[in-house]
Amino acid sequence: MSDQLSPREQLAIEAKQLLQHMGFAAEVAVSERLLPDERVEYACELTVTDGQQLLIGQHGANLQALLHLLRLVARKHLPERSVIALDVNRYFAEKKSFLEQEALRAVKEVIESGLPLSLRPMVAYERKLVHTLLAEHPQVMTESVGSGEERKVLIRLKGETPTLPEDDYSR
């Protein structure tokens, strides 16, 4: 790879080559932005026509593994402390939007009822999205409850202490 290419261009080439080695053809678009903590985020969007489900996997597991591989092969071309985000056919973007809507509906219900509410069980990155979305909310707070595949986000009013057993928060 040429040193004349920008990190963004080099990441696009690495992603395309990695996919080709795996037998996938994809269009690769990479954007970059400066995060508030001064790190650079490279968002790598893959567009595929065949094999989307295989690339994504159950609950995005294959996509997470692909992201790990991409980080390993691309890190030598990127600035230190840079972040890579990877998406296939907007899977994560749409999932994030859905999770945000789900969380905001739950917040409305918690505020109206005054009672805590737990969301459905989620994988770690989904819980993190919800925690991040609601971190600055003036009326509610979040915490993760449960364990393993049953771990979920509990939303409750700020200042309230849970009084019910964990399983009683679902409605």
- Residues 30 and 69 placed together within one structural domain of the fold: yes
Residues 144-168: what's their mean pLDDT? Answer: 81
- Residues 68 and 35 placed together within one structural domain of the fold: yes
- In a domain, residue 1? The reply is no
Residues 55-69: what's their mean pLDDT? Answer: 91
pLDDT digit string, tens, across residues 40-61: 999 999 999 998 999 999 888 8
Residues 137-166: what's their mean pLDDT? Answer: 86
Q: Is 29 helix (H, G, I), strand (E, B) or coil?
A: strand
pLDDT at 59: 80
Cα(30)–Cα(15) distance, rounded to whole angstroms?
A: 10
- Residues 85 and 11 placed together within one structural domain of the fold: yes
- Residues 162 and 114 placed together within one structural domain of the fold: yes
- In a domain, residue 53? The reply is yes
- Residues 85 and 105 placed together within one structural domain of the fold: no
- Residues 135 and 153 placed together within one structural domain of the fold: yes
By the 8 A CB rule, do 60 and 67 touch?
no
Domain that holds residue 15: 7-89
pLDDT at 99: 95
Whole-structure pTM value: 0.73
Looking up residue 73, the CATH number of its domain turns out to be 3.30.300.20
pLDDT at 168: 54
Does residue 160 surpass a pLDDT of 80?
no
Looking up residue 164, the CATH number of its domain turns out to be 3.30.1370.50
Q: What are phi and psi of 19, to 5 degrees?
A: -65, -40
pLDDT digit string, tens, across residues 74-133: 988 898 889 999 999 999 899 999 999 999 999 999 999 999 999 999 988 899 999 999
- Residues 12 and 78 placed together within one structural domain of the fold: yes
Q: Kindly list the distances between the CA atom of residue 158 and the CA atoms of 2, 135, 136, in Å, as whole numbers in the listed order.
A: 53, 11, 11
130's CB contacts (< 8 A; 6+ apart) are: 99, 103, 119, 122, 142, 153
Domain count, the chain: 2
